Amino acid sequence: MLGGKLLMTGLASFRSGLPIPVMTNSSQVALLGLDRTEIAALVESAGEPAYRAQQLLGAVYRQRVDLIDQILTLPQRLRAELAQKGISIGLPAIEQRFVSQDGTVRYLMGLADGESVETVWMPEGDGGEAGDGSEAGDSLSSTEHVGTTALGRPAEHKLGSAGRGWDRATICISSQVGCAVDCQFCLTALLGVKRNLSAGEIVGQVCAVLKDQKVSPPEDRINLVFMGMGEPFLNYDNFMKAVRLLVQEVGVVESRMTVSTAGIVPRIHDFGEEPVRPKLAISLNASNDQLRTRLMPLNRKWNLEKLLAAARDFPLRNRERITFEYVLLDEVNDAPQHAKEVAELLRRMRAKVNLIALNPGPGIDFSTPAAERVATFQQVLIAARIPTFVRHPRGRDIYAACGQLKRTVAIATMPAP
């Protein structure tokens, strides 16, 4: 809503020639983040014919240009005029790339006000899609149908990804600069929260990565997970606007998106009412209130009873399940007894569980359990008939894995040229 108000000011001043306020930089209006109606209003206020709106939308969201001057469908005169009015594309600048041995790429994205966030590219995914009953999850089994090599790579490639060595890819997106939810095992928490990202900055991360990787949904099978820095449900309006733009303008398939929340209960209710929405994942991380409050202090406000009531009420679509994420911390929340408690909590829910062994980091006072402990935990849940998957850490060597996003730049891995 705030964005809407600022935009209106922006449109008025577009006409009058006064400086245009925006969320992140007072002298610029970014096209990224504007929807069809807002772009149409901007075109009208500039006294241009209505078809220009479609040209702008196509250039920004499908062609993903980074400069107004690259929109060749617009006459030179108009390009100059837009630039002169302080209108820009607003694509985040890729400041650094860290490339993992496993193919994961962690991007450091520079924003207009000098802040930065991280976005992660995972060829062959592990945004935790397996078994969620959706198109994103099912792509795992369809990969298996075409036959996988020892490396887990498809023997045959489909769609636009042919020859690239991956069949699908997942982009992990940030929603805030830092995070206000003080989860004790997460590196992002150590940053605190600086500010919300605008819708344009959220969509912009996706556009910048698609451009860099030279891929395009829906031809290329791209999954999105809102699981990077920040708590999406504490930046709800911008996050939801970004979702709509990603589906309607960028072409991302709705059922291939998942948002993860630490458990902001009122927003879980709102989210259930959205006509266009990603799938829901909830970071459970503990099997009882005492433990959860210790690991995730927000549990004092929204305890397990409230959280699970919201999950039970959540209107699921056909074949959809809620994912519960559970970070396993050695000797803290990873005993078979904890798994039994989790099974009890999730009884009769259309749920699946994603287990993540802790990704370690400096300043984090927990350790990673041995693989056998993870496997035992999984077996207890499976025995209770809860579909349970172990997420493979991606890009740990470059601090790109879950909970490791902290804008770490001083690591040994060389950035790509």
**Residue 7 or 240 with smaller CB distance to ligand SAH:** 240
292 alpha-carbon distance from chain centroid? 24
List Cα–Cα distances, 44 to 3, 14, 218, 331, in angstroms: 19, 11, 30, 62
Position 129 contacts ligand SAH (CB under 6 A): no
For the question of residue 118 being annotated catalytic, the response is yes
Active-site residue, selected from the candidate residues 183, 186, 207, 402: 402
Task: Report phi then psi at 105, rounded to 5.
Answer: -120, 125
In 10 A of CB 162, how many CB atoms? 11
207 has catalytic annotation? no
Q: Is 57 in the site for ligand SAH (CB under 6 A)?
A: no
| Residue 239 is a binding residue for ligand SAH (CB under 6 A) | no
CA-closest candidate to residue 103, choices 348, 340, 396: 396
Contact between 355 and ligand SAH by CB under 6 A: the answer reads no
In our burial notation (b when 16+ CB lie closer than 10 A, e otherwise), range 66-90 reads bebeebeebeeebbeebeebbbbbb
Stretch that binds ligand SAH, among 79-87, 194-202, 354-362, 380-388 (CB under 6 A): 354-362
Window 286-345: residues binding ligand SAH (CB under 6 A): 325, 327
Q: CA distances (Å), 112 to each of 26, 171, 316, in order?
A: 10, 21, 38
Nearer to ligand SAH, 88 or 354 (CB): 354
Residue 166 token pair: 């991956």
**Candidate residues 161, 261, 333, 408; the one interacting with ligand SAH per rule CB under 6 A:** 261
Shortest spacing between CB 329 and ligand SAH, in angstroms: 9
Total binding residues toward ligand SAH, as defined by CB under 6 A: 18
Q: Are 82 and 71 in contact (CB under 8 A)?
A: no
How far does Cα 241 stand from its chain's mean position?
13
Strand partners, 357: 328
Given the complex with ligand SAH, which of 124 and 231 has the nearer CB atom?
A: 231
Select 105 or 227, whichever has its Cβ closest to ligand SAH: 227
Q: From the list 285, 323, 378, 388, which residue makes contact with ligand SAH (rule: CB under 6 A)?
A: 285
CB of 185 to ligand SAH, least distance (A): 5
Which of positions 173-232 make contact with ligand SAH (CB under 6 A)?
Answer: 181, 183, 185-186, 227, 231
234: DSSP letter: G
Residue 131: name the closest of 370, 269, 324, 265 by CA: 324
Q: Which is nearer to ligand SAH, 29 or 400 (CB)?
A: 400
Residue 274 φ/ψ, nearest 5 degrees: -70, 130
Q: Which member of 88, 134, 260, 408 binds ligand SAH (CB under 6 A)? A: 260
The single residue among 20, 199, 403, 408 that binds ligand SAH, judged by CB under 6 A, is 403
Residues in contact with ligand SAH by CB under 6 A are: 181, 183, 185-186, 227, 231, 260-262, 283, 285, 325, 327, 356, 358-359, 402-403
Active site residues: 118, 402
